[in-house]
Amino acid sequence: MKSHNIFAIGALLTTLALGGCKVGPNYKAPAMPAPPAYSDDGHNGTWTAASPADNANRGDWWGIYQDPKLNDLEQQCATANQNIVAALHAYEQAHDLVRENKASLYPTVSIGASASRNKISSTRPLIREPGVATNYWDFLIPVTISWEPDFWGEIRRQIESSAAAAQASAADLANTRLSLQGMLAVTYLQLRGIDLQAQLLRSTLDSFQQSLDLTQLLLKGGLTTDIAVAQAQTQLEQTRAQLIDLGVQRAEDEHAIAVLTGQPATNFHIPELPLVGDPPGIPTGIPSELLQRRPDIAAAERRVASANALIGVAKAAYYPNIALGASGGVESDAISKIFSAPSTMWSAGGVVNETVFDAGRRRAQVDFAIAQREQATALYRQQVLSAFRDVEDQLAALRVLEQEAAVTGRAVESAKRSTTLSTLRYKRGLAPYLEVLTSETIELANERTAASLAAERIVASAQLQIALGGGWNSTQLPIN
């Protein structure tokens, strides 16, 4: 009957501990108003964002550029980049901490075994029977159970806090992936832009070589001067120097890509492939979706939840500490009798402890926890504002760069016509070579600007996708 009573009491305490109250405030996500639409979402220029396309798979967001080499590099980055690997292990640590905290809800049971040979002093006090053996064995197998029931929810609040922190760590991992894979995409597209400029300079070198050959031919016929030949030669060599200079920039981008993909920069090479086409349309959605699509925002919000739960942990210190324990086992002076009924022993009890004076320590701990939550809330709101700014920046960049590219395109066409007319006048002896030189220099400058703008527009589209959170969504956060 007594064992049934003990079992019932234990079951009742377990139920109270696991389903009891939780002191401290329950979490409510901070309010953060979002504008109904982006101010620069295709309304102030000819550039227009693509439709939301919510059914599209945004996981590999760089696939919109339809570049197999970029796809391969991104996959290598996801698995071999050491910063991503480090972020993964940071998440694993946070998840393990949740498991550790959950274990605190349950009793701790330990068992041991000992054997010792002992001798009692035959002349010690209270020895009443001379000749009694003073040597004996002591065999002991103790079992100890200790438990602090979570009556006030301190452990459950700690689990709540660590679980939210683990979710924040998972979002940090996603943000690390997004940042590094975004950096890889941007660097790769910049490299392709360099290839486009290199293609332009090689084509221009052919044209300038023809101009030099023409000038040398005219010099032989007495139709021009040595100065014109020197000017043509100078222009050719200056352009060659520009092409060589691009090699330095390209090598630096290649080395950066090697590190991002977890490879040594030595002997790493990406075949040359000039950039082509206009930036693709990017589905932007509405601003409120950004709160779910940016992993850095999700991480900041989860840290608010984690800090909020710690207030409950601090407030639980105001309530009594209740600890239950039991010990038992078997003990005998002969190993053959160790498991017999007379050898059993046990004890059980509980301790209640309440702090009555701490000079304001607990109040300070609660205030500290509240201040931590308010700090995390402010950082969350700042992160949201920064995210809105990032998107607006890239939308504005796409719009302005498209307008600039259109104007530059017209300037390139005009410069080409000027060069054609100047060359024709020079061939007919109606203009000095300096006029041709000036026209060709202006044409090359405009063409390089146009090539640079083409790369900037593609890069801006990638940065817009990064600002929108890539293909991530807060529904991908783990449930701890």
pLDDT for 62 beyond 50: yes
Out of 162-166, 180-184, 375-379, 427-431, least confident range: 427-431
pLDDT given at position 439: 94
pLDDT given at position 2: 45
Structure tokens at 214: 């023409």
Q: Average pLDDT for residues 7-13, to the nearest whole number?
A: 53
* Choice between 473 and 445, residue whose per-residue pLDDT is larger: 445
Q: Average pLDDT for residues 30-43, to the nearest whole number?
A: 76
Comparing C-alpha atoms, which of 176, 70, 54, 75 is closest to residue 458? 70
pLDDT given at position 34: 82
In the chain, the domains with their CATH numbers are: 21-104+152-319+360-476 (1.20.1600.10), 107-147+321-353 (2.20.200.10)
DSSP E strand stretches across 226-385: 321-332, 344-353
pLDDT given at position 100: 95
Over the stretch 173-183, which tens digit does the pLDDT of each residue have? Answer: 999 999 999 99
Over the stretch 19-31, which tens digit does the pLDDT of each residue have? Answer: 568 899 999 999 8
Q: Average pLDDT for residues 60-72, to the nearest whole number?
A: 95
pLDDT given at position 131: 61
pLDDT-derived band at 282, boundaries 50, 70, 90:
confident
Dihedral sign, Cα of residue 218, residue 219, residue 224, residue 226 = positive
Question: What is d(CA 225, CA 215) in angstroms, rounded to the nearest whole number?
Answer: 9
pLDDT for 258 beyond 70: yes
